[in-house]
Chains A and B, each alone.
Chain A
Amino acid sequence: MQHITKIFPRIVANDDISFQLRKGEIHALLGENGAGKSTLMSVLFGLYVPDGGRILVKGKEEKISDPHEANRLGIGMVHQHFKLVQVFTALENIVLGVETTRGGVLQMDEAREKVDALSKQYGLLVDLDKKIEDMTVGMQQRVEILKMLYRESEILVFDEPTAVLTPQEIDELIKIIKELAAEGKSIIFISHKLDEIQQVANRCTILRKGKFIATVNVAEATNEQLSEMMVGRKVMLQVEKDEPRVGEVALHVEDLVIKAPGLSERNKVNHVSFDVRKGEIVSIAGIENNGQHEVVMALTGLMPVNSGKISLNGEDITDWSVRKRNYKHISHIPEDRHKHGLILDFDLANNFILQSYFTEKFCNHGFLNSHSIQNYSTELIKQYDIRSAKGPDTIVKSMSGGNQQKAILAREMDRTHDLLIAVQPTRGLDVGAIEYIHKQLVRERDNGKAILLISLELDEVMNVSDRILVMFNGEIVANVFPKDVSERDLGLYMLGSKVGV
C-alpha cells in the first residue's frame, strides 16, 4: 500500500501512509485509537475508496472496490467480533458463501475433506459438526481462521485477535499464527498489546494520528520504544499506587439472583454476594458472558433483580429507579460507550449533562441554562484534557474513541457519587489513554470512593485492583488479592476452579 490518504468529516484518517507486507512474515500494525489502523485495513478491503495512493498486490496495481474483490485477491480478515452464524455447525460456517454444489445440491463431503486437510496442515483442530453457539471463543476463532484458509487467502488480517481470549488460548493462537507464517501465509496482526507483538511479529509498523511513523524490526525494539513511538511521549506501563486506605463497606450485595431469559434453568447470576469498601478498587474478572454484565445491570437499575438485596452505605437500594441511583449515589462508566454512554449526535456539552440536565445547576423552571452548561463543559474539557475540534460544541460522533471515553470519564467522575462502577473503561484504548484512565481510577480511590471495576483484561485487573473477584458461570469463584496470584492462576479461576470463597 503506497501513499494511502483517506479523508473523513473533519479528520484525515490516513495521511500518506505506506505499508509493505512481505510474503511469509508477521507484520504488526500498532497505533492508538484513531491512529488510522482500521481505516487502512478498510481501504485494503475495499470498504473505503482512498482519496489518494495505490495498492499493489504481488507487484500488480489493483483497484479494490469491494470486499469480494479483496477476497478474490486472497485477502482475508479475522474480525474482532466474529462473523459466524450461531446455529450453524463449524463446517457450514466455513463453506458459507462458497459452497460446492452439484445440480443445486450441497456437496459437503468434498468440503469436509478439504477442511480436514487444512486443519491438519496448520494444527487447527476443530469439531466440524459442533454448532458455533456451543463452542468456546477460542474455538470460534479457529473456525474464522479456517474460513479464511478455505477461501485460499494468502494475506490474513487479524484484528485484535487476543482481546477476547484467556492467557492459555492466547498462547495457542500465537502458535497457530506462527505456523501459518511458516507455511508461507502473510499476516497482518493488529494489536495494542506490546508483549504480544514482541512474541509474535517480525516487523511492526506504527501509526500515529493518521500518519506513518516507522516500520521497525521487532527484535531490535523494546516495549518502551514502541509505546513511545505510538503515543509520541514516554509512557508509564505500570500503574503507580500506594496501599489502599480501606474504609467501611459502601456497596453490599447479598444473595443476588438474576434468572436467564427464556426457559434456561441456569441462573445468569446465581446467589452472588460481595462487598466493596470505601477507598478500595475491587475488580470482577472473568471471561465474557459469565454474569458480570448482569451484575452491573442490576447494580445500576437497568435490569430487574429476581431476588437478593443491594445496599449502598447501609441503605437498601434494590427497588430504586435508575435516576434515583444516578443522582448523587452511583456513577457508571458503561461497557458500550456508543450504546449507553453517549448520545453521539449531541455535542459534548449536551452529553455532559445527560444525567443531570434537570438539576438546579443546569435548569431554571424547566428551561435549560445554556450559559452554565457551556461553562461547565469548558471546565470539564480543560480539567480532563479532552481533545475536541470545537470545544463544547463538538459533535461527539466526530471525536476519537479515546476522547469519547475521556468525556464519559469526566462526566462520571465529576458527578457526586459514593460508588463508581467502571466496566471495561479502557476497552479499545491505546496505552496513553489507558495510563490516564488508570491514574484517574486510583486518584478516585484515594479520595475515599468505592470502585467496582469490571474487566476482561487480566493486565488491567492485576495492575489496578486492590482485590479481585472472579466470576464463572454466574457465580463468584475466587476472592483474592493481586499479590497472592499470578495471571496464570486467574486464567484457571476464570475457567471454573474454586478458591478462597
Chain B
Amino acid sequence: MKKLISKILNNDAFGNTLASLISIFLGLIVGLVVMVIFNRAGAWPGFLVMLQGGFSDGARGIGQVLYYTTPLILVGLAVGFSFQTGLFNIGVIGQFTIAAYVAIIIGGKLSMPASIHWIVALIGASLAGVIWAAVPGLLKAYFRVSEIISCIMMNYIALYLVNQLVHDTHYESTTAMSAYVKKTALMPKMGLDTIFPGSTVNSGLFIAIIMAILVYILLYKTSFGYSLRCCGLNRDASKYAGINETRNIIIVMLISGFIAGLAGGILYLSAITKNYKISELFINEPGYSIPVALLGMSHPIGIIFSSLFIAYIIVGGSLMQGYGFPVETVGIITAVLIYFSAFSLIFKNKVNKFALQFSYKESQKTDSFKNE
C-alpha cells in the first residue's frame, strides 16, 4: 500500500496535476480574503456562487463555460506550443486581433453559401494570424531580434490598425462596434445548441480540442516535434546535433500564429452579437493565453483543462456582480486566482521533494525490516 502511494507520488503526471490543484486552492483562499476586504457581507455568498460557476445557471451556464473555454484552449496552445520550443510568442494578442478583423470582413462583406462561408472566413483569419506571426519569426530567425520585443510591437500595430480598419470598412456607429457578420458565416452549432440551449457554444470547441490533440501528436510523436523540443530545451545541443534552428523558429512561429488566428476567427464568428469593439484596450481572451499555458504546464492536454478552469472562474466571477461586487473587483479576484495558478511550477517542485522524502523514509523502513 505504502509502496503504491510512493509510486503514485513519484509519477510526473500526478505531480503536475497535484501542483496545479494546490495552486488553485491557495488562489481561491487569497481570492476570498480579497472579497472580504471589499465587501464583508457579500463575500461568502459571492464566493460560493463563483465556485458554483457555470453550474449555477443550468445547461446554459455549462454551455457558456464551454463557449469561453474554446478560444482559451487555442490561445493557450499557441503560447504553450511556442514555450515548449523555447520561443515566447507573446504576440498571440496581435495575431488574434488581426485574425478577428479578417474573419469579420470575410463574414460581413462577402456572400457565400452557409456550408463554406464560415470555413473560408476561418481560413482567412488563420492566415492573417500566420502573417502577423511571420514577422517576429523571421526577425528572430535571421537577425536574432528578440521575439518578445517584436511581438509586443506587432500587438500595438494590430490593435490600432484594426481599430482604424473596422472604423473605415465595417462599422456600426450606433453601437460603436464592428457591423454584423452574415448568418452564413457563423460557426455551425453541430447540435450543441440543443444540449446547451440559450448558450453561444459552437463547433469551435471541437476544432479547439482537435487542435490540442494535433499539437500533442506533433510535439511528442513526430521527428519534427522532437527537433522542436530539442531546440526548446537545449539550443546548444541542438546545434551540436545538426538541427536547423533557423527553420524551426520560423515554422514554430507560423504554427503558433495559425492557432492564434484560428482562435480570433472562431470567437468573432461565434454569434451574431459578438462584434469587435473599438477600444484602446486589447481584447480580453488572448490576454489569458499565458496563464492558461502556465497552469497547463504548456502541455496540450493540460491546456484543455486549465482553459476549462479559467473559463469556469470567468463565468462564476461574472455572476458575483449580483452580490454587490463591481465588475472591477470581479476582475481583481479572477486575476488573483490566475496569478496563483502561475505558481504551479513552484508547487510542482515541492510535491516532488515531498514524494522523494516519503519514498526515502519508506525504503529505510523496508531496509530495516530486511535487517531484522
A322 in the interface (beta carbon within 8 A): yes
Contact B222 A368 (CB under 8 A): yes
Chain B residues whose CB sits within 8 angstroms of the CB of A51 once the complex forms: 357
Contact A340 B227 (CB under 8 A): no
Map CB proximity to B onto A371-387 as digits: 1 under 8 Å, 0 otherwise: 00000000000000000
Known contacts A339-B236, A343-B237, A354-B230: A9-B242 contact under CB 8 Å: no
Partner of B226, one of A10, A302, A334, A368: A368
Known contacts A322-B242, A355-B242: A9-B352 contact under CB 8 Å: yes
Residue of B nearest to A336 (CB): B236
Decide if the interface of chain A is mainly helix, strand, loop or mixed: loop
Number of interface residues of A (CB under 8 A): 37
Chain B residues whose CB sits within 8 angstroms of the CB of A12 once the complex forms: 360
CB-contacts of B178-204 with A (<8 A): none
A346 in the interface (beta carbon within 8 A): yes
Contact A322 B222 (CB under 8 A): no
Chain A residues whose CB sits within 8 angstroms of the CB of B353 once the complex forms: 9
B224 in the interface (beta carbon within 8 A): yes
- Cα A370 to Cα B293 in complex, Å, equals 27
Map CB proximity to A onto B216-244 as digits: 1 under 8 Å, 0 otherwise: 00000111101101100110110111111
- Cα A51 to Cα B354 in complex, Å, equals 13
Contact B223 A363 (CB under 8 A): yes
Chain A residues whose CB sits within 8 angstroms of the CB of B5 once the complex forms: none
Residue of B nearest to A344 (CB): B234
Contact B357 A7 (CB under 8 A): yes
Partner of A357, one of B223, B237, B356, B357: B223
Known contacts A339-B237, A354-B237: A7-B360 contact under CB 8 Å: yes
Contact A323 B360 (CB under 8 A): no
Partner of B237, one of A341, A366, A368: A341
- Cα A10 to Cα B358 in complex, Å, equals 11
Contact A340 B360 (CB under 8 A): no
Chain A residues whose CB sits within 8 angstroms of the CB of B233 once the complex forms: 343-346
Contact A321 B226 (CB under 8 A): no
Contact B222 A302 (CB under 8 A): no
Min C-beta distance of B77 to chain A, whole Å: 20
- Cα A324 to Cα B241 in complex, Å, equals 10
Contact B234 A357 (CB under 8 A): no
Map CB proximity to B onto A340-364 as digits: 1 under 8 Å, 0 otherwise: 1111111000100111011000110
A332 in the interface (beta carbon within 8 A): yes
Chain A residues whose CB sits within 8 angstroms of the CB of B239 once the complex forms: 302, 322, 340
Contact A350 B352 (CB under 8 A): no
A326 in the interface (beta carbon within 8 A): yes
Beyond A300-B240, A340-B239, A368-B223, list 9 extra A-B contacts (CB 8 Å): A7-B356, A51-B357, A323-B242, A334-B240, A339-B234, A339-B237, A342-B237, A343-B230, A358-B223
Q: Which A-B residue pairs are the 3 nearest by beta carbons?
A: A323-B242, A322-B242, A340-B240
